């Protein structure tokens, strides 16, 4: 395992921690490392129960990634409407949804060959 892979996996862990910090639910890590046409190596997908919670989760992800891994997103879209906030960390894309939007876009299943890891919800 090279350093970039270790760094990416550490970033994924920090992002998951950021989602959990604000009680985000339904976290799925989509590993697309073996899919040449994928837009990034990983997607991390989670959801909040309200636009305010989606916004708080996105802020927490940003804080955790910066504090734990020294990473800042290259772009963030969706703030303000907070039905779907997407954060681009290059090798990792973060998607925080309201449940209805998540169900509609179904990002987890866009790539049949991707490895899905469900992260248990914290109570």
The answer to whether 68 touches 14, Cβ cutoff 8 Å, is: yes
**Per-domain boundaries in the chain:** 3-119
3-state secondary structure of 104: helix
pTM over 0.85: yes
Please give the DSSP secondary-structure letter assigned to residue 50: S
pLDDT of residue 112: 86
pLDDT of residue 2: 54
Tens of pLDDT, residue by residue over 76-102, are 999 888 799 999 999 999 999 999 999
Higher pLDDT, 53 or 3: 53
3 pLDDT band (50/70/90 cuts)? low
Q: What is the C-alpha end-to-end distance of the chain, expressed in Å? A: 33
3-state secondary structure of 8: helix
Return d(Cα 88, Cα 76) in angstroms, integer.
6
Tens of pLDDT, residue by residue over 28-73, are 999 999 999 999 999 999 999 999 999 999 999 999 999 999 999 9
pLDDT of residue 119: 96
Return d(Cα 67, Cα 82) in angstroms, integer.
23
Nearest by Cα to 46 from 6, 7, 92, 8: 92
Nearest by Cα to 111 from 25, 45, 17, 20: 45
Give, in degrees to the nearest 5, the angle at Cα 79 between 42 and 46. Answer: 40
4 pLDDT band (50/70/90 cuts)? low
Domain covering 3-119, topology: Beta Polymerase; domain 2 (3.30.460)
């Amino acid at each position: 395992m090279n350093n970039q892979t270790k760094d990416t996996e550490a970033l994924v862990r920090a992002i998951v921690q950021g989602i959990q910090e604000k009680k985000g639910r339904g976290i799925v890590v989509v590993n697309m490392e073996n899919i040449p046409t994928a837009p990034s190596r990983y997607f991390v997908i989670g959801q909040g129960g309200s636009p305010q919670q989606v916004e708080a989760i996105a802020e927490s992800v940003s804080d955790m990634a910066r504090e734990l891994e020294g990473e800042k997103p290259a772009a963030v879209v969706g703030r303000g409407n907070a039905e779907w906030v997407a954060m681009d960390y290059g090798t990792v894309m973060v998607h925080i949804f309201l449940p209805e939007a998540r169900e509609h876009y179904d990002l987890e299943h866009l790539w049949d060959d991707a490895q899905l890891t469900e992260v248990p919800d914290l109570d």
